[in-house]
Structures are given as C-alpha cells and as structure tokens.
C-alpha cells in the first residue's frame, strides 16, 4: 500500500506532467472548492495516504498552472526541478533554521546561499542578508534597518524609545512604487502620511531635479525608495544619478528589485541596473525570477550593524553562535523553515550562466508576446519591453476610452477562459491594459505561439459575434 509520501509524489508528477495540456487557469469556484474540501471538522482520523488523495482531488480544479509555460499574470512562475525537490527535503528534514545550534546544516546552507546571491547580484561584500517570505517582508526587514540607522544618526534610539516623540522619518518614493512599500512603512509605524512622491517622467522614472529640490534644506531623517523595474513596463530608476543626490543629503536609499534585480545577472540587461550597488538596501524575490517555490524573498543591507541591531533578539535560553551566522539575527522569525535551501539548489542547478540565460530568455519571450499580440487586429502594444514586462491594450475604432477599457478586460477574461494562456490586467496611465509578465523557466517559443494564437482566436470570435 503506497504511503502518503508516495501518493504526494504521484500527484505532484501528474500535476507537473499535465501542465502542457491542462487548462492554465483554475476552473473551480470558491463554493465548489468549499464543497470539495470543506465540511465539518472530522471527528475521527483518516489514513494519511487517503488524506493526500482527497486533498489532490479536491484542490486540483482550483489550481492555476502558474508552474507551466503559458501563465503570464502578476509576476509568477513555477519551480526549477532542483528547487522543488530541495523544498520537499526541507520539509522532510524539518530543521528549525533560526540558529546554528538548532539546525547546523540548514543555517550553514543559508550562509553560503546569501554569499552566492551577493556575488550573483554584484552587491557590496559587506552586505548582510535575510531570507524572508517574499519581497513584502524583505522591504520590512530592510526598512527596519533603515529606520534604526536614520534615527540613530539623529541621536534617537528606536529600539529603546520606540517612535513616541522620535524625529519624523520622511520616505521619498514615486507614484510608480509597489504597494508593498506603503504597507512596509505602515507596519514599521513610520506612517503613510510621511511618504512623499517625487515627480516622474513619462515612463514612471523618478526625476532627479525634483528629488534634488525635495532634498535641499536642512538634513533630516530620510529614506529614498527607488525602483529596479516596475511591474507594468519594467521601468528602472536612474540609480547612478539619483543615489549620489540622496547620499549627499544623508538619506538611506532602498531599492525595490522584486524581479528587476535579476537584470543585473544578465549581460544584455545589466546596464539597466548601473549604480544600483550604491544603495543601502535591496529587496528581491526568489519565488519570482529565480523560480523557487513559494515563499521566498531576500533582503540585503549594506550596514550590517544596523540590520542586526534592528532585528536580533538574544535570549538567555537560546544558544547563539559566535562564529556562524544565526539566521534569527537577521530575520523577524525565530523558528523558521530552511527557506534558503531551494535557492541554494536553484543556484547550483543553473550556475551564474544559467541564471543569465533564464533572464535573457524570458525577456526575449516577453518581447515576442507583446509584439505578437500587439500586432493583432484590434490590439495595441503600449510599450516595447525593456525587460520582461509589457502591456497591450485592445481597442475598437470609434469606441470611447471607457468602452475600450471594458473591451480590454473582456479580452483578458475570454483568453483566460480558453485555458490556453493566462494574463492579468492593470491600469496604466489611466487606461486598462493586459499585462504580459514572463518569469518562467518553462516558457518556450511554442508557448509564445500558442498564447498569441489564443488571443487571436478570442479577438476573431468577438469580431464575428458583432
Ligand atoms: C515590484 C514589486 N515589488 C514588490 C512586490 C511584492 O512581492 P511579494 O509578493 O513577494 O511580497 C511585487 C510583486 O509582484 C513587485 O512586482
């Protein structure tokens, strides 16, 4: 009789082997999922293998095939083979990876992986790092270090005195920021009212003159947040110009590089990140472009002392290590899974060249998708992708902007309903658009052709139904 691990392996293989032929978008409604998976709390137990069978059967129709090659919504992918398998081992080993004394192998693996990532991204050797659940918590981690440091410079000990009566911290950002920065500012008690937008150019890039103007005047605690690729069209701020302006005014500079930091790994795109190494902290994700399983983000902080001061706990019953890195000194969690290990596996599977190749392939596919869909009758590409993000709008001659907004959403919905490809929508410059985001190692030329054909057939059907 197969045990629960065999059954999990069977269902996982069936799921992955079916990605090419299964519908890309989930089919089940919330009610259908509640019916399939819910009911009353069981009074008695079940055989573990039966639990896994029932779980796979009930959840199956509610799963998006983002692990496949034709899922272009949000910024999502599946997992590299080694990263997925390593993630299974992390659960089987079940090491509490907060401290070396508690989990020797997995904490050393985290130490190695963090150093490899600094090398991969070309970040300063003195940086500390943290493996978080995602970019959201990477922002919180990095900005906790920033908060500590800018207040320390103003003579305020936030650890001891909190924010009551502290000098206000000004957070300079642009309208083009990701919302996770706002939440990070809120979570850290710095207050959204203290966020100020710097003016941007037509592509959403921060304007140096406006930044310089905002930073003139007396020095005060300031954090500047810049973008390494926004999620609509992948715009990068001009780090080499902006960071020296901010540094001259004593500001801490943080970079949101959720996926854009990976541009730095690929020779063809590296120049987009020129000057990024001058920043003080960087946030990125493993579960986006490195194709490791959810959840995995990373924060890097130049001022390791500030990072540690903001996060480390130190309790008498614990066994801190003097010569090994204890993850709990750098992450919010004490007990935690060995989150770095799938990253370690991915980096070994790909090597530096493989990461660059993955990034460059995705960018080529994104250009082909945006160009191909944008060339269809009734479609218009809103950008030529500089990286792996693009936008297409759908328009009918003589229709109003609002009608074309609705038409665009309808094309996205109908395309997703074909099961051939899956896209999400956005509002960019006041207009609805289809987002084309490519981050998967699985996406192939055939996937690109199939996806363009899916949109083409939706447009043709809608046209003939008029
Ligand atoms: C630019 C950017 N920053 C931050 C995030 C948040 O990432 P996470 O969902 O891993 O917290 C995203 C997510 O898409 C993003 O695109």
- Which residue lies with its CA nearest to atom 12 of ligand 1? 258
What is the average pLDDT across 4-28? 97
- Pocket mutation for ligand 1, best pick of 141, 175, 180 (most atoms within 8 Å of C-beta): 180
134-155, pLDDT tens digit by residue?
999 999 999 999 999 999 999 9
DSSP 262: G
- Pocket mutation for ligand 1, best pick of 77, 134, 135 (most atoms within 8 Å of C-beta): 135
pLDDT of residue 329: 95
Q: Does position 314 have pLDDT exceeding 90, yes or no? A: no
Average pLDDT, whole number, for the chain?
A: 96
Q: Does position 320 have pLDDT exceeding 80, yes or no? A: no
pLDDT of residue 324: 87
Beta-carbon count within 10 A of 290 CB: 29
pLDDT of residue 315: 62
72-93, pLDDT tens digit by residue?
999 999 999 999 999 999 999 9
For 85-346, which CATH class? Answer: alpha beta
pLDDT of residue 316: 59
- Pocket mutation for ligand 1, best pick of 136, 228, 258, 388 (most atoms within 8 Å of C-beta): 258
E strand or H helix at 379: strand 379-381
Q: Is 134 in the pocket of ligand 1 (CB under 6 A)?
A: yes
CA distance 311 to 167: 21
SS3 of residue 391 by DSSP: strand
Q: Is 24 in the pocket of ligand 1 (CB under 6 A)?
A: no
Q: Does domain 352-464 have CATH number 1.10.20.140?
A: no
pLDDT band per the 50, 70, 90 thresholds, residue 317? low
- Which residue lies with its CA nearest to atom 2 of ligand 1? 258
24-52, pLDDT tens digit by residue?
999 999 999 999 999 999 999 999 999 99
Provide Rg for the chain, Cα atoms: 24
pLDDT of residue 465: 87
What is the average pLDDT across 407-436? 98
Nearby residues of 245 by Cβ (< 8 Å), 6 or more positions away = 208, 211, 212, 215
Residues above pLDDT 90, as percent of the chain: 96
416-430, pLDDT tens digit by residue?
999 999 999 999 999
Q: Does position 249 have pLDDT exceeding 80, yes or no? A: yes
Q: Is 231 in the pocket of ligand 1 (CB under 6 A)?
A: yes
Q: Is 388 in the pocket of ligand 1 (CB under 6 A)?
A: no
CA distance 297 to 340: 9
- Which residue lies with its CA nearest to atom 16 of ligand 1? 231
Nearby residues of 336 by Cβ (< 8 Å), 6 or more positions away = 96, 97, 98, 327, 328
- The tokens of 164 are what? 């009551």
Residues above pLDDT 70, as percent of the chain: 98
Q: Does position 1 have pLDDT exceeding 70, yes or no? A: no
Domain ranges of the chain: 4-68, 85-346, 352-464
The number of the ligand 1 atom at minimal distance from the alpha carbon of 134 is 10
What is the average pLDDT across 12-23? 97
Q: Tell me which residue of 75, 83, 264 sits closest to 180, measured CA to CA.
A: 75
CA distance 85 to 311: 31
Q: What is the whole-number distance in angstroms between the Cα of residue 107 and the centre of ligand 1?
A: 26
């Amino acid at each position: 009789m197969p045990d629960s691990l065999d059954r999990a392996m069977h269902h996982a293989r069936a799921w992955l082997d079916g990605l090419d032929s299964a519908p890309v978008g989930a089919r089940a409604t919330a009610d259908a999922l509640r019916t399939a998976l819910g009911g009353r709390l069981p009074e008695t137990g079940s055989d573990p293998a039966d639990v896994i069978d029932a779980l796979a059967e009930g959840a199956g129709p509610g799963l998006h095939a983002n692990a496949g090659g034709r899922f272009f919504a949000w910024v999502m992918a599946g997992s590299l083979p080694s990263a997925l398998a390593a993630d299974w081992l992390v659960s089987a080993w079940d090491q509490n990876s907060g401290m070396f004394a508690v989990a020797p192998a997995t904490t050393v693996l985290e130490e190695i992986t963090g150093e490899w990532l600094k090398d991969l991204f070309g970040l300063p050797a003195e940086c500390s790092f943290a493996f978080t659940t995602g970019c959201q918590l990477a922002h919180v981690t990095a900005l906790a270090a920033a908060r500590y440091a800018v207040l320390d410079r103003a003579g305020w000990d936030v650890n001891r005195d909190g924010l009551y009566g502290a000098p206000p911290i000004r957070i300079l950002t642009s309208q083009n920021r990701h919302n996770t920065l706002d939440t990070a500012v809120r979570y850290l008690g710095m207050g959204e009212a203290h966020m100020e937008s710097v003016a941007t150019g037509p592509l959403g890039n921060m304007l140096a003159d406006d930044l310089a103007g905002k930073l003139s005047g007396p020095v005060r605690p300031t954090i500047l947040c810049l973008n390494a690729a926004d999620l609509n069209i992948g715009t990068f701020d001009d780090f080499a110009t902006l960071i020296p302006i901010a540094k001259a005014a004593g500001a801490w500079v943080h970079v949101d590089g959720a996926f854009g930091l990976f541009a730095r790994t690929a020779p063809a795109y590296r120049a987009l990140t020129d000057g990024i190494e001058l920043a003080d902290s960087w946030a990125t994700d493993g579960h986006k472009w490195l194709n490791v399983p959810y959840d995995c983000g990373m924060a890097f902080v130049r001022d390791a002392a500030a990072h540690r001061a903001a996060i480390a706990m130190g309790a008498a019953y614990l066994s801190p290590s003097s010569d090994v890195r204890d993850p709990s000194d750098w992450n919010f969690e004490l007990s935690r899974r060995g989150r770095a290990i799938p990253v370690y596996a991915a980096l070994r599977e790909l090597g530096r060249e493989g990461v660059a190749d993955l990034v460059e392939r995705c960018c080529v596919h994104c250009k082909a998708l945006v160009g191909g869909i944008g060339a269809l009758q009734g479609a218009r590409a809103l950008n030529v992708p500089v990286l792996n993000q693009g936008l297409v709008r759908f328009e009918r001659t003589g229709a109003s902007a609002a009608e074309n907004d609705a038409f665009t959403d309808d094309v996205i919905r109908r395309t997703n309903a074909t099961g051939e490809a899956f896209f999400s929508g956005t509002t960019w410059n006041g207009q609805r658009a289809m987002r084309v985001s490519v981050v998967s190692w699985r996406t192939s030329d055939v996937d690109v052709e199939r996806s363009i054909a899916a949109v083409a057939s939706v447009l043709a059907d809608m046209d003939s139904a008029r």
